[in-house]
């Protein structure tokens, strides 16, 4: 099959890559895959991954559990061992022996076919298009915040970062009735967030002030320090960016201001699919361009350009 392959140093297009072996229970034909900043971090060494990247996808089930065959699906990306303490507590995302689609020991979605465990699948509602459904994974990550903290109407929340994840976090938090402000660098990206009714501020106009909750979704190390300064004493800082490499920051403000710092990663797919089906979250304006899988290398270059919105790959 055709696939993009990362060997740890170089990304190449492979027209005769091995098709997924039947080790996981469902074989899926990929309709669309999304290039995410985590993928771009992988190409800088994140997770020391080798194989087919890609973890955001929508596809149809070719082989697998009978209830799913022929259905349009999205899939959760963490594959637990099923035996350990974490897995027994239904926390396969935190299984120490897990593989993660396109990120850790599992070939991913930048290919014609991929293979995932059947229990990771979720059927896509008919009124959700492929172009919308491919955002389920990052949208679920935004919904994860609501499983981690209690958001009250009237809470003053800052979302830092106007990229795809910042946009989805701002739209998701806006559903709670809290007062959401998005802070970012790019006027055009902030304009997209503003359409959801979110207050926006461009970084050049930023007057430092403090919020009950700050969500750091800039995808860059410099966002962390700004985020820390924007949390009120006893407030909450949610960290969403995964960044390759190590960075030096002063942790003293966390102690002095007694800040709750919460790491936040993958989230609930059912909540994300329900919000897409109810048209509560608008994702189509986030799409920049759809490339054929064969042009995958150009697509990855495009995704890495500053200011790029979501780039999708389509195996035709
Ligand atoms: Zn991602
Ligand atoms: Zn496990």
The CA 91 to ligand 2 mean position distance, Å, reads: 8
**Ligand number, closest to the Cα atom of 34:** 1
**Ligand number, closest to the Cα atom of 83:** 2
The CA 234 to ligand 1 mean position distance, Å, reads: 30
Q: Point out the residues of the chain with pLDDT beneath 70.
A: 21-23, 243-245
The CA 168 to ligand 1 mean position distance, Å, reads: 12
**Ligand number, closest to the Cα atom of 80:** 2
**What Cα–Cα distance (Å) separates residue 14 from each residue in 1, 17, 105, 310?**
8, 6, 19, 23
CA 135 to chain centre: 8
Rounded distance, CA 81 to CA 90, Å?
Answer: 11
Tokens of 118: 């059947």
The dihedral through the CA atoms of 124, 130, 131, 137 has a sign that is positive
Tokens of 241: 């960016």
* Max CA separation in the chain (angstroms): 57
Rounded distance, CA 131 to CA 34, Å?
Answer: 9
Rounded distance, CA 24 to CA 192, Å?
Answer: 39
């Amino acid at each position: 099959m055709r696939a993009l392959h990362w060997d740890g140093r170089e990304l190449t297009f492979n027209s005769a890559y091995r098709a997924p072996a039947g080790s996981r229970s469902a074989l899926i034909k990929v309709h669309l895959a999304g290039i995410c900043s985590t993928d771009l971090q992988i190409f800088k060494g994140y997770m020391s991954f080798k194989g087919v990247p890609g973890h955001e996808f929508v596809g149809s089930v070719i082989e697998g559990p009978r209830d799913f065959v022929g259905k349009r699906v999205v899939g959760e990306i963490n594959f637990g061992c099923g035996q350990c303490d974490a897995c027994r507590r239904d926390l396969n995302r935190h299984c120490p022996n897990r593989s993660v689609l396109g990120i850790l020991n599992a070939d991913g979605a930048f290919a014609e076919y991929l293979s995932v465990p059947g229990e990771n699948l979720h059927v896509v509602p008919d009124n959700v298009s492929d172009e919308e459904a491919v955002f389920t994974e990052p949208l679920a990550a935004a919904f994860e915040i609501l499983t981690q903290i209690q958001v009250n109407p009237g809470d003053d929340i800052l979302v830092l970062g106007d990229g795809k994840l910042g946009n989805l976090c701002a739209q998701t938090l806006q559903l709670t009735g809290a007062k959401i402000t998005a802070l970012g660098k790019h006027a055009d990206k902030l304009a997209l967030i503003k359409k959801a009714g979110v207050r926006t501020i461009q970084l050049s106009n930023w007057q430092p002030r403090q919020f009950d909750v700050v969500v750091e979704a800039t995808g860059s190390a410099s966002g962390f320090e700004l985020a820390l300064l924007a949390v009120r004493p006893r407030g909450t800082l949610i960290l969403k960016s995964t960044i390759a490499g190590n960075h030096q920051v002063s942790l003293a403000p966390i102690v002095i201001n007694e800040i709750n710092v919460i790491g936040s990663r993958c989230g609930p797919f059912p909540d994300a699919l329900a919000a897409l089906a109810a048209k509560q979250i608008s994702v189509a304006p986030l799409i920049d361009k759809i490339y054929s899988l064969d042009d995958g290398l150009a697509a990855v270059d495009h995704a890495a350009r500053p200011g790029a919105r979501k780039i999708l790959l389509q195996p035709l």
